[in-house]
Amino acid sequence: MSDMSQVRPRKAQAAETGRKPLPASLQRNAPLVPVDSAGGQALAAVIAILTFLAALCAGGAELVAASSAQWRSDIAREVTIQIRPNPQRSIEADVQRAVALARQTPGVEQAQPFSREESERLLEPWLGTGLDFNDLPVPRLIVIKLQEGARPDFAPLREALRSEVPGASLDDHALWVSRLSTMANTIIAISIGLVILVLVAAGLAVIFATRGAMAGNREVVDVLHFVGANDDFIAREFQRRFFRLGLRGAAVGAGAAMALTTLLGLVTRSWRASPAGDQIEALFGTFTISWRGYAVVVLIALLVAIITGIVSRLTVRRFLNGNG
C-alpha cells in the first residue's frame, strides 16, 4: 500500500493532503526563473544596448588616450626657433647662427632650418595661395629634433639666442603639451563617468526586472518555502538565471561594439588618401584600438553580467525579507 501511495499522481496526493498542486513552472524540472520569456528577452536587449554604449565609451577613451600619447610624444621631441626679420640684420646669417647654437646644445639630435619658400608655404592655410610675400616680414623657422628620452635644459640656448640673434625666440611647446594632456584627460574622465552611468542604468533595469519576476512567480516562491527551500536557495536561482541572461546580452553588445570599431577602422583606412581621411588620421590615428582596448570591452561585458547577477540576488533577498 505504501508503494502505491508513492507512485500516485501529484494532483491526487495534493487533493488528499488538501494542498494545491505545484505550479507548472515547478513541474518537469522547469526553471524557477524562465529567461526566454518576453520580459527576459527585453531585459537582454536592454543589457545589450547598455553594454554596447559602455563599450563604445571605453573604446573611445582608449583611442583618445593612445592618440594623445602619440601627440605628446611627437610634440615633446620637437622644439622650434622662430626668427623675425630685422631690417638692420641679415636674416640668413641669423638663421645659420641660431642653427649652430642649437646643434651645440646637449640632447639635440637635429636642427633643420626652413627656407623662405617653406616658411611662406606654412602661411598658405591662413592667408591663401597666390599671394606675393615679398613685401611681408615672413618669420623663419628652425625645427629642432631631440634625442629619444632627452630632456635638455634650454635656458643656456635661450640666453645665447637673446644675446647673439636678436628677434629669435625658442618654443618648447610645453603649453601645447599641457593643453593636450588636459583635453585628453577630460575626455577620458567623461568617458569613465559615462561608463559608470551605463552600469548604474543596467543595475536599475535588473532591479525592476527582478521585482517583476518575483511578482510573477510569487506562487512558486510560496510553494518553495512550503517544501523547505530557504531564501538563499531562491536568491541563488534568480542570480544564476539573471547572470546567464546578462552574460548573453553583454556578449551581444560587446560583440557589436567590436564589430563597429573594426568596420570604422576599415573605412578610415580606405579613406586614407582623401582629405577627410587625412584629418581623421591626424586626430585619431588609424582609428583602431589596441589589445588593451579590446580587453577593456571584454571586461565591461563581464562586469555587466556580474552586476546583473549580484543585483538580482540582492533584490530577491530584499523582496523576501519584506522590504521590497
List pLDDT tens digits, range 155-211: 888 888 888 888 888 887 777 778 878 888 888 899 899 989 988 998 898 888 888
pLDDT at 132: 64
pLDDT at 251: 93
Average pLDDT over residues 70-99: 82
Average pLDDT over residues 95-110: 86
Three-state SS letters, the chain: CHHHHHHCCHHHHHHHHCCCCCCHHHCCCCCCCCCCCHHHHHHHHHHHHHHHHHHHHHHHHHHHHHHHHHHHHHHHCEEEEEECCCCCCCHHHHHHHHHHHHHCCCCEEEEEECCHHHHHHHHHHHHCCCCCCCCCCCCEEEEEEECCCCCCCCHHHHHHHHHHCCCEEEECCHHHHHHHHHHHHHHHHHHHHHHHHHHHHHHHHHHHHHHHHHHHCHHHHHHHHHCCCCHHHHHHHHHHHHHHHHHHHHHHHHHHHHHHHHHHHHHHHHCCCCHHHHHHHHHHCCCCCCHHHHHHHHHHHHHHHHHHHHHHHHHHHHHHCCCC
Residue 296 has pLDDT above 90, yes or no: no
Average pLDDT over residues 216-223: 74
Q: How confident is the model at residue 19 (pLDDT cuts 50, 70, 90)?
A: very low
Average pLDDT taken over every residue of the chain: 77
Q: How confident is the model at residue 50 (pLDDT cuts 50, 70, 90)?
A: very high
